Amino acid sequence: MNRRGFLKLAGVAGAAAAARPASAAPASSPDSPEFWGVLVDTTRCIGCRACERSCSIAHDLPVPDIENDDLLEHERTTSDRQWMVVNRFETSKGEVFVKKQCMHCWQPACTAACLTNAMHKTRKGPVIWHPDKCMGCRFCMVSCPFEIPKFEYNSWNPKIQKCNMCFERLEDDKKPACVESCPTDALMFGRKRDLMEIARVRIYNHPDKYVHKIYGEHEVGGTGWLYLAAVPFEELGFRTDLGTTPYPEFTRDFLYGVPLVLFGLPALLLGLSLLAERDSES
């Protein structure tokens, strides 16, 4: 089995484990890789945007002016110059800040879309982009349910820009830059299983403080980034209509059908043509 097939299987197994009820012990075997992720507790975030700053520095992007609160007036999206943004939402429980970046899906739509494997889910979990493979078709952008990959429209040699969960720092056994810079522990880095446990404990200990849902537990088959919140996620700009089916599933039936058609249809056509020939002769 090649590495990719292995990863795919691992992803399926991982999602199945994630879908288990909380009481069941998560399945694990020594060689199944466990994906890393980040738990975002929006009740702890103070909107200082230190993470925005550290992210830009870590990835050589233009550093945003985090003193300037005017930027918080409107909901922002990530861009080709900024891999993550913090947004402010007026909610039923007052002001809430939410960090937004790539969710590092367990079975990402973007990697399934990519025809060159330029978008790639690594063994540790980050979804990263290879500049020397990408041909700039933007199918990943069309497919990503969170609209995360961004394209440099004004360059002759455009790149796809998106959060890579500080893949290069992880290789050095360091945490993502944003997590490290967060002064309030609103961001926590760890293996998804541990993060889920922590999130559940927080909800259990403070049942009135949190809505009883962990965004990312099941969404689109489970994501690497998880969110806790005090108000329903709709109020925080999250899409709650994405479903729990991993996005690659939507094309799986079609792709499975391809070899069938590729070998079956010619046989059928050949038969038809022979029949038609006999008819036209007689």
Partner 1 sequence: MADTRDLGRELRRFGKFLRSEARPRGKLLTPFNVISIPVILLGIGILVVRFTKGLGSVTNLSQEFPWGFWIGFDVVTGVAFAGGAYAITFAVYVMKLEKYHPIVRPAVLSGLLAYVFYAGALVLDLGRPWHIINPIIGNSFGYNSVLFLVSWHFMLYMLAELVEFSPVIAEWAGWRRLRRILGALTVGTVIFGVTLSSLHQSGLGALFLMAKSKIHPLWYSEFIPIFFLVSSIFAGLSMIIVEGTISHRVFKDQIDPAKHHSFEDIILGLGKGAAISLFVYYFFKLLTFIHDRHWKLLTDGWGIWYLVEILGFVLLPCVLFAYGVRNRSVGTVRVAAVMALVGIVLNRLNTSVIAYNWTAAVRYFPSWQEIVVTLMVIFTEIWVFRWIVLRMPVLREAHELPTRRTTAGNPVPSAIA
Interface residues with partner 1 (CB under 8 A)? 4, 8, 77, 79-80, 109, 112-118, 132-139, 141-143, 145, 147, 150-158, 239, 241-242, 247-248, 250-251, 253-255, 258, 261-262, 265-266, 269-270, 272-273, 276-277, 279-280
Nearest-angstrom CA–CA distance, 180 and 182? 6
Q: Which is nearest to 242 in space by CA: 254, 233, 251, 253?
A: 233
| Count of residues engaged in binding ligand SF4, rule: CB under 6 A | 27
Among 50, 84, 118, 199, binds ligand SF4 (CB under 6 A): 84
Which range, of 90-98, 172-180, 203-211, 250-258, touches ligand SF4 by CB under 6 A? 172-180
Q: Which is nearest to 140 in space by CA: 9, 248, 216?
A: 248
- Of 143 and 230, the one with the shorter C-beta distance to ligand SF4 is 143
Answer with the entry of partner 1, ligand SF4, none that 137 interacts with (C-beta below 5 to 8 A by kind). Answer: partner 1
Query: 48 with 57: CB under 8 angstroms?
Result: no
- Of 25 and 260, the one with the shorter C-beta distance to partner 1 is 260
Q: Which is nearest to 224 in space by CA: 141, 160, 167?
A: 167
221 binds ligand SF4 (CB under 6 A): no
Query: What would the x/- binding string for ligand SF4 be over residues 122 to 161, using CB under 6 A?
Result: -----x----------------x-x-xx------------
Q: How far is the CB of 109 from ligand SF4 (least distance, A)?
A: 4
Nearest-angstrom CA–CA distance, 243 and 232? 16
Nearest-angstrom CA–CA distance, 140 and 149? 7
Strand locations in the chain (E): 36-41, 85-91, 94-100, 119-121, 127-129, 150-151, 160-161, 187-191, 225-228
Residues 6+ apart with CB under 8 A from 218: 18, 19, 244
Ramachandran area for residue 221 (φ above 0: left; ψ -120 to 50: alpha; else beta): left
Among 45, 134, 166, 228, binds ligand SF4 (CB under 6 A): 166
Q: How far is the CB of 259 from ligand SF4 (least distance, A)?
A: 26
Token look-up 């097939």 returns: 5
- Of 175 and 202, the one with the shorter C-beta distance to ligand SF4 is 175
Among 7, 18, 85, 109, binds ligand SF4 (CB under 6 A): 109
| SS3 of residue 260 by DSSP | helix
131 phi/psi in degrees, rounded to 5: -65, -30
Q: How far is the CB of 226 from ligand SF4 (least distance, A)?
A: 13
Residues 6+ apart with CB under 8 A from 229: 42, 43, 96, 98, 210, 211, 213, 215, 236
Among 15, 36, 40, 83, binds ligand SF4 (CB under 6 A): 83
- Of 189 and 247, the one with the shorter C-beta distance to partner 1 is 247
186 binds ligand SF4 (CB under 6 A): no
Binding site for ligand SF4 (CB under 6 A): 51, 54-55, 58, 83-84, 101-105, 108-110, 127, 144, 146, 148-149, 162-166, 176-178
